[in-house]
Structure 1
Amino acid sequence: FFLYSNSRTNYIAFISLRFASDPSLEDFKLSLRKSHTFCSRINLPSCNMSLFMAGSAPEGTQFDTRQFDQRLNEVLEGQDEFFTSYDEVHESFDAMGLQENLLRGIYAYGFEKPSAIQQRGIVPFCKGLDVIQQAQSGTGKTATFCSGVLQQLDFSLVQCQALVLAPTRELAQQIEKVMRALGDYLGVKVHACVGGTSVREDQRILQAGVHVVVGTPGRVFDMLRRQSLRSDSIKMFVLDEADEMLSRGFKDQIYDIFQLLPPKIQVGVFSATMPPEALEITRKFMSKPVRILVKRDELTLEGIKQFYVNVEKEEWKLETLCDLYETLAITQSVIFVNTRRKVDWLTDKMRSRDHTVSATHGDMDQNTRDIIMREFRSGSSRVLITTDLLARGIDVQQVSLVINFDLPTQPENYLHRIGRSGRFGRKGVAINFVTKDDERMLFDIQKFYNVVVEELPSNVADLL
């Protein structure tokens, strides 16, 4: 018996398979395939599966439990066949078989040579394959899936054909900008559906017709539920920053959205880090995906010099930051703290000492956040204080210094933070303020990324 259950709709299906004789491994595999096919037809996720077998052996024989366990393990270990590999590398955009007007957009955006993830990742996505891709921040993941989406759109059909989900409004809006810029010569129509904006305006734009929707899970699900966003023509579904998207806060919403999409759909999952639980969850809605992963010890932060400053007490961090302010103002800098309240506190303290800083966090209304980010991107604001929530939406080419006023609480977030500096191979510097209580976290970060973080030298300005 195969038992399949769907936790979201409480469907349960029992599939009974009768074997004429002692089942061989091939019988098991065939049965698994048949049951997977059946469950996909009735919209049950076949990977949420418990497998049971009951049967009677001929009289006078014994059921061979050891052989059964061995065969079952072989079948279950075969789950690694879920992934396929893709080893082709294309060292130029011209070699990828992209449309001429897409190439024009890519070159106009400022790309000359594809990054490592683009060399391996654009073509399989363009071929319609499901893909899981991992690369560090600042290596061009966004342009990878944007190129893949744009290559496959039918521009004669002004209906939503691609849906991209992102964990924050800022990141969704950043993706929208990249998609629009790369598709400039194709005439692509893109819209960002994010919270904090007018629902009626979203409905009006979607009614008029778009090719691509980029958005946050809550607003996208709302638009699908209202049928303002029609899913009939959607053939591509992308999760950006999957580690964040598949965390507890977004997992259920993603499943809800996925169940409203057509059954045959291409899925792309992109992230700087890919913890095991994220990979496991992708099994629920991907078919034989191409896996382009970087092992944890290969997660390099090349081009980013990393330093720490010993700060005896938490209260001394502010003095240390003020001492560094003149250095900060040489270039554009981002300062990370761990809470929204601390963003406000640090901003007030810096301004009271006549230091010019901008600040943004999730409690601010969308319009205010947009204005602040616009000023920062244009260069009129040079020092930005923010939290992890917004780390992934900051894509500013001129940022070459990141300060971790507070070390991140999770090692994975360290990459997302300091990846803001040294974008696309430029040089960058990261400075970590470390108290006695932070020493363990700094040790964990160094171990996690296989890096050595050195003490800050006195000539830090020369490194920028």
Structure 2
Amino acid sequence: MLSAESHFNHQVPNSRGVLDAKTTGQHGLNRLKRFGAPKGILLTSFNELGLSEKLVASVTALGYTTPTPIQAKAIPLLMEGRDVIGLAQTGTGKTAAFGLPMIEMLMKHAERPANRTTRSLILAPTRELVNQIGENLRAFVKKTPLRINQVVGGASINKQQLQLEKGTDILVATPGRLLDLIARNAISLSKVTHLVLDEADQMLDLGFIHDLRKISKMVPAKRQTLLFSATMPKAIADLAGSYLTDPVKVEVTPPGKAADKVEQYVHFVGGKNDKTDLLKKSLAENPDGRAIVFLRTKHGAEKLYKHLEHVGYKVASIHGNKSQGQRERALKGFKDGEVKVLVATDVAARGIDIPAVTHVFNYDLPEVADAYVHRIGRTARAGRDGIAIAFCAPDETRLLHDIEKLMKIEIPVLSGERPEGLASPTRGSGNRGGRGNGAGNGGRRQGGERGERAHGDRPARGHREGGHREGGRRNGDFRGQRAGEFAPVERDNDLEVTSDFKRTKVEGAKAAGPRKHRGGQGRPARKAGSFAAAGQGRPAGNAGRGRKRG
């Protein structure tokens, strides 16, 4: 409800088409209270969204005066108790969109939570995102008695169990660690009234669907459920159909569309050495910038990190082989400005909310086009501008084609030539690739009719052709080991080393086990002195015959 005394600002187009702030008078205030905002006018205060004066004061004290589009659309619906599907890119204020109405409703029913229970549950795919959400929510509830806890893998489960002992108002968790704590009877979900699935598309990509189904059976059927996602594949629609009741869809950015202020460019290169040289050149040309460099694999990320560190860059890396403490120190250094370049894999970079990021480099193009949208969403946050630069090797043209097809743009070329087989996608409205200033459009674009994929059809999301790569074979964690090779790349699951990740079994795939030898008891140990002398052949009784397979 609007207070009768509070006059707030709204924006109206002036004669030049620019939105100017205007203050309502009492008559205009009463009219807005009765009929809402006229078409084309954007309300720009938290007061009219149904939040209490106390919570609005807390938000204003943090420097937030104008709701983002996702906040302006979602908060009133959530205050009415509706289930909501929110489609918005990262950096659009989703945490406040679901967090503020949740806090408001919890404060209205301020009963103390029972021991080992939580009143609301927020699920997110990664440790970094859980920590980011928890940090933001704590800022909103500073002057309230609400208790917020967060639980993730890679941290002490015993310490987390103690934190949950006295009851929780808002629990932020990764699915795997939450199930571990439930198995220990450290937490019950029987009192949950609000359930939030944040970055739902990423949770499905990481194989959390089975964990989500288990958790959904543990929360009461009578609850408010919110699902937020940057993209809307069929799997998300199916998930929403089974989790949400009569949901309202709120969409502020079409799926596959990047933030409006991101300039995108691509370098066509011959190989990894060219990528590294161009990356260092770009970093040298922007010494005051702050950049995130994305690679597909942990091995590749660590190798590039060590090289950049060796040549003198202030660099850090985050990926699945890093401990929780190492990740937190790297992110803190990057946030504080001590680190200028952060080398990361997709999963590890989820939840990075640092407005100062000026550049995103796609050193390796992602296997899944949606991941590109998530990557470049790390820049141009909080209304700032940003630049996204991709490096495309000859064996990555199919991946670039998929990205441009998803985004309905043709990314401007900075260097190299667009391959003739790379067809131009159908352009969409309002989603630019770049502004075209400077030398950014120096490359030559070639069109032509769209043909079939040069590399054949893509495998289904989440599965690789040819089954699993087992130990003992050539390392599949690093591309480009042989010239012209398109190595099969498994998703770089940074959560695999923690209890947050449970690898999904592939139907028909056999679990790897010890190699059998004759009686099935493993290879017998050799006795001392049993090796034949140099130059001595096999015993006569076994000469010329291959080893018998047991």
Q: TM-score, normalised by structure 2?
A: 0.65
State the Cα distance separating 1:335 from its structure 2 match. 0.5
1:428 paired to 2:381: no
1:410 paired to 2:363: no
User: Aligned partner of 1:280: which letter?
Assistant: D
> 1: distance between equivalents of 2:393 and 2:169?
50
Question: Percent identity among equivalent residues?
Answer: 33
> 2: distance between equivalents of 1:89 and 1:121?
14
Is the contact between residue 402 and residue 430 of structure 1 (CA under 8 Å) also seen in structure 2? yes
> 2: distance between equivalents of 1:373 and 1:460?
32
Is the contact between residue 332 and residue 400 of structure 1 (CA under 8 Å) also seen in structure 2? yes
- RMSD value, Cα: 2.2
Aligned pair partner of 1:277 in 224, 235, 243: 235
User: Aligned partner of 1:199: which letter?
Assistant: I
User: Aligned partner of 2:403: which letter?
Assistant: I
Aligned pair partner of 2:53 in 97, 100, 104: 100
1:163 paired to 2:121: yes
> 2: distance between equivalents of 1:216 and 1:176?
12
Deviations 1:409-438 (A, max 9, x none): 111111110011000221011011112222
Matches within 5 A, 1:352-371: 352-371=310-329
Matches within 5 A, 1:421-460: 421-456=379-414
Partner of 2:356: 398
> 2: distance between equivalents of 1:128 and 1:146?
13
Aligned pair partner of 2:178 in 209, 220, 226: 220
Aligned pair partner of 1:246 in 184, 190, 204: 204
Aligned pair partner of 1:133 in 82, 86, 89: 86
Deviations 1:2-56 (A, max 9, x none): xxxxxxxxxxxxxxxxxxxxxxxxxxxxxxxxxxxxxxxxxxxxxxxxxxxxxxx
State the Cα distance separating 1:297 from its structure 2 match. 6.6
Deviations 1:318-346 (A, max 9, x none): 11112122234312110000000011110
SS in 2 for 1:184: coil
Is the contact between residue 296 and residue 448 of structure 1 (CA under 8 Å) also seen in structure 2? no
Aligned pair partner of 1:299 in 257, 263, 283: 257
> 2: distance between equivalents of 1:295 and 1:143?
17
Partner of 1:208: 166
Larger mean Cα displacement after TM superposition, 188-197 or 297-306: 297-306
Residues 332 and 220 of structure 1: is their aligned pair in 2 closer, same or farther, counting only changes over 3 Å? same
> 2: distance between equivalents of 1:194 and 1:398?
26
Partner of 2:152: 194
1:148 paired to 2:106: no
Partner of 1:182: 140
1:290 paired to 2:248: yes
Partner of 2:195: 237
Partner of 1:70: none
> 2: distance between equivalents of 1:161 and 1:379?
37
Is the contact between residue 306 and residue 431 of structure 1 (CA under 8 Å) also seen in structure 2? yes
> 2: distance between equivalents of 1:297 and 1:237?
23
User: Aligned partner of 2:400: which letter?
Assistant: L
State the Cα distance separating 1:459 from its structure 2 match. 5.6
Larger mean Cα displacement after TM superposition, 188-197 or 101-110: 101-110
Is the contact between residue 167 and residue 244 of structure 1 (CA under 8 Å) also seen in structure 2? yes
SS in 2 for 1:176: helix
User: Aligned partner of 1:170: which letter?
Assistant: E
Partner of 1:3: none
> 2: distance between equivalents of 1:317 and 1:272?
28
Is the contact between residue 87 and residue 228 of structure 2 (CA under 8 Å) also seen in structure 1? yes
State the Cα distance separating 1:231 from its structure 2 match. 2.0
> 1: distance between equivalents of 2:218 and 2:177?
14
User: Aligned partner of 1:289: which letter?
Assistant: P
Deviations 1:338-364 (A, max 9, x none): 000011110111122122211111121
Deviations 1:163-220 (A, max 9, x none): 0000000000000011111222324311111011111111111112321100100111
Is the contact between residue 88 and residue 253 of structure 2 (CA under 8 Å) also seen in structure 1? no
Is the contact between residue 298 and residue 319 of structure 2 (CA under 8 Å) also seen in structure 1? yes
Residues 269 and 207 of structure 1: is their aligned pair in 2 closer, same or farther, counting only changes over 3 Å? same
Larger mean Cα displacement after TM superposition, 102-111 or 343-352: 102-111
User: Aligned partner of 2:67: which letter?
Assistant: P
Which structure is larger by alpha-carbon Rg, 1 or 2? Answer: 2
State the Cα distance separating 1:227 from its structure 2 match. 2.5
Is the contact between residue 90 and residue 120 of structure 1 (CA under 8 Å) also seen in structure 2? no
Is the contact between residue 230 and residue 255 of structure 2 (CA under 8 Å) also seen in structure 1? no
Deviations 1:200-248 (A, max 9, x none): 1111111123211001001111222323112232100100001011336
SS in 1 for 2:382: helix
Is the contact between residue 297 and residue 450 of structure 1 (CA under 8 Å) also seen in structure 2? no
Is the contact between residue 358 and residue 385 of structure 1 (CA under 8 Å) also seen in structure 2? yes
Choose between structure 1 and 2: higher helix proportion: 1
Is the contact between residue 357 and residue 383 of structure 1 (CA under 8 Å) also seen in structure 2? yes
State the Cα distance separating 1:146 from its structure 2 match. 1.0
User: Aligned partner of 1:166: which letter?
Assistant: A
State the Cα distance separating 1:90 from its structure 2 match. 5.5
State the Cα distance separating 1:296 from its structure 2 match. 4.5
> 2: distance between equivalents of 1:245 and 1:297?
17
User: Aligned partner of 1:151: which letter?
Assistant: E
Is the contact between residue 104 and residue 185 of structure 1 (CA under 8 Å) also seen in structure 2? no
Partner of 2:63: 110
SS in 2 for 1:207: coil
Q: TM-score, normalised by structure 1?
A: 0.77
1:320 paired to 2:320: no
Q: How many residues align?
A: 375
SS in 2 for 1:177: helix
> 2: distance between equivalents of 1:303 and 1:197?
37
> 2: distance between equivalents of 1:245 and 1:440?
25
Partner of 2:308: 350
| Structure 1: runs of 5 or more not aligned | 1-86
> 2: distance between equivalents of 1:415 and 1:363?
24
Matches within 5 A, 1:66-81: none
Larger mean Cα displacement after TM superposition, 142-151 or 444-453: 444-453
Is the contact between residue 401 and residue 429 of structure 1 (CA under 8 Å) also seen in structure 2? yes
Larger mean Cα displacement after TM superposition, 128-137 or 104-113: 104-113
> 2: distance between equivalents of 1:460 and 1:357?
27
Is the contact between residue 361 and residue 388 of structure 2 (CA under 8 Å) also seen in structure 1? yes
Residues 297 and 244 of structure 1: is their aligned pair in 2 closer, same or farther, counting only changes over 3 Å? closer
| Structure 2: runs of 5 or more not aligned | 1-38, 415-435, 441-550
Partner of 2:76: 123
